[in-house]
């Protein structure tokens, strides 16, 4: 018993859904394949589409036997617009408080307020040009930052960061390979169900032929009895 080949449709004949095989006519078969819209896929002899993908006008109306038979020009047109929603991963929580300037290296520096700047003066005696005048004093001022009691302190703050557990890469599979494996499994399942159904039909056909052979053998035996009576001159049919 086959299942529906439309992506994201899990309807199966074992659940009571009616399924219809792809037509053998090339143009209609190509149109069905285009509407099913499966990437890099071609229907097999067992590929089928369930009844929910056809409009009501695609079926023959008011049939006496009640069978939902497709019209010769029926084409599946009802398909889900969007893929089923996948579970969204929860956002990662920020580790600790928001980062502050200078916290990229994991350290925070604090400095004491600056005091008044001190000035260091250097005095150099220059000799007189004639040797009698007293030497001229030249002063050079050099500014130095004042030393305060509060010296620059630096403290290191270690932040604990939550590291997610690493997942082995071998346990993950790419999306394309998973989809391809599922499609192959679905095709093999449909082929198996089709073979089981074909075997049941063939078995019932063989049983019908055997019963027909038995009827023919009994008819031949009756004819032989009639011939024997006719040859013996007895025209009365056997009781």
Query: What DSSP assignment string belongs to 101-166?
Result: TTTTTTEEEE-PPP-PPEEEEEEEEEPPSSSSSPPEEEEEEEEEPPP-SS--EEEE-PPP-PPPPP
Q: Is 28 exposed, middle or buried (0-12, 13-18, 19+ CB in 10 A)?
A: middle
Handedness of CA 132, 133, 134, 138 (dihedral sign): negative
148-197 tens-digit pLDDT: 455 445 554 444 454 445 444 444 556 777 888 888 898 899 999 999 88
pLDDT of residue 88: 38
Residue 105 has pLDDT above 60, yes or no: no
pLDDT of residue 225: 86
Q: List beta partners, residue 48.
A: 4, 21
pLDDT of residue 220: 92
pLDDT of residue 216: 93
Lowest mean pLDDT among 18-27, 97-106, 143-152, 169-178: 97-106
Evaluate whether 47 touches 29 at the Cβ level (below 8 Å).
no
**Inter-CA distances, 77 with 56, 82, 189, 230, Å:** 11, 15, 25, 70
By C-alpha distance, which of 23, 9, 7 is closest to 58? 23
Distance CA 180, CA 50 (A): 21
**Inter-CA distances, 196 with 10, 61, 121, 191, Å:** 20, 31, 108, 9
Evaluate whether 23 touches 29 at the Cβ level (below 8 Å).
yes
Give, as one character, the DSSP assignment of residue 92.
P
- Segment 233-239 shows an average pLDDT of 58
Lowest mean pLDDT among 64-68, 146-150, 173-177, 200-204: 146-150
Evaluate whether 71 touches 54 at the Cβ level (below 8 Å).
no
Where b means 16+ CB within 10 Å and e means fewer, 176-195 reads eeeeeeebeebbeebeebbe
Cα(first)–Cα(last) distance of the chain, in Å?
50
Both tokens assigned to 19: 């399924």
Task: Enter the pTM of the model.
Answer: 0.33
Cβ atoms within 10 Å of 17's Cβ, excluding its own: 17
- Segment 134-152 shows an average pLDDT of 51
């Amino acid at each position: 018993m086959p299942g529906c080949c439309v992506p994201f449709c899990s309807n199966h004949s074992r659940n009571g859904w009616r399924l219809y095989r792809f037509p053998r006519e090339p143009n209609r078969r190509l149109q069905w394949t285009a509407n099913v819209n499966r990437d890099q896929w071609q229907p097999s002899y067992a590929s089928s589409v369930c009844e929910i993908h056809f409009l009501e006008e695609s079926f023959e109306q008011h049939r006496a036997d009640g069978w939902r038979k497709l019209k010769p020009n029926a084409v599946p047109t009802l398909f889900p617009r969007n893929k089923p929603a996948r579970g969204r991963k929860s956002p990662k929580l920020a580790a600790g408080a928001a980062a502050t300037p200078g916290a990229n290296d994991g350290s925070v520096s604090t400095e004491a307020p600056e005091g008044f700047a001190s000035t260091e003066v250097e005095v150099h005696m220059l000799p007189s040009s004639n040797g009698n005048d007293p030497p001229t004093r030249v002063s050079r001022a050099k500014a130095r930052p004042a030393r305060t009691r509060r010296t620059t302190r630096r403290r290191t703050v270690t932040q604990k960061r939550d590291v997610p557990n690493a997942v082995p890469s071998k346990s993950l599979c790419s999306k394309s390979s998973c989809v391809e494996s599922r499609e192959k499994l679905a095709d093999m399942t449909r082929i198996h169900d089709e073979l089981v159904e074909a075997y049941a039909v063939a078995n019932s056909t063989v049983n019908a032929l055997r019963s027909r052979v038995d009827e023919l053998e009994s008819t031949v035996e009756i004819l032989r009895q009639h011939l024997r009576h006719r040859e013996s001159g007895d025209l009365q049919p056997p009781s």
